[in-house]
């Protein structure tokens, strides 16, 4: 779905407290979160505004977002 939210709290609501805690206390995690949030905003902007980009470009951005989400999730899980 175009413009769908993919922020980490939306994706993993059960981990909201841990996400906030780690973002405040772990600089590496916070940097990855910022990178993820920036990329998610970029993808949503492209989708919502209908910005002309090649299909491969948007798919590559979505794959990069997914890889970042996987890294962040791995850090959140004990």
Spell out the domain ranges in the chain. Answer: 8-76
List % helix, strand, coil for the chain (3-state, nearest 5): 80, 0, 20
Tens digit of each residue's pLDDT (9 = 90 or more) over 11-34:
899 999 999 999 999 999 999 999
Measure Cα distances from 20 to 26, 43, 46, 47, 50 in Å.
10, 23, 27, 27, 32
The predicted model gives 34-57 an average pLDDT of 89
What is the pLDDT, as a whole number, of residue 7?
A: 85
């Amino acid at each position: 779905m175009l413009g769908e939210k993919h922020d980490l709290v939306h994706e993993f609501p059960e981990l909201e407290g841990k996400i906030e805690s780690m973002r405040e206390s772990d600089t590496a995690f916070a940097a990855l979160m910022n990178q993820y949030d920036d990329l998610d905003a970029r993808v949503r902007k492209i989708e919502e505004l209908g910005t002309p980009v090649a299909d491969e470009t948007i798919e590559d951005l979505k794959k990069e977002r997914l890889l970042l989400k996987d890294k962040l999730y791995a850090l959140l899980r004990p």
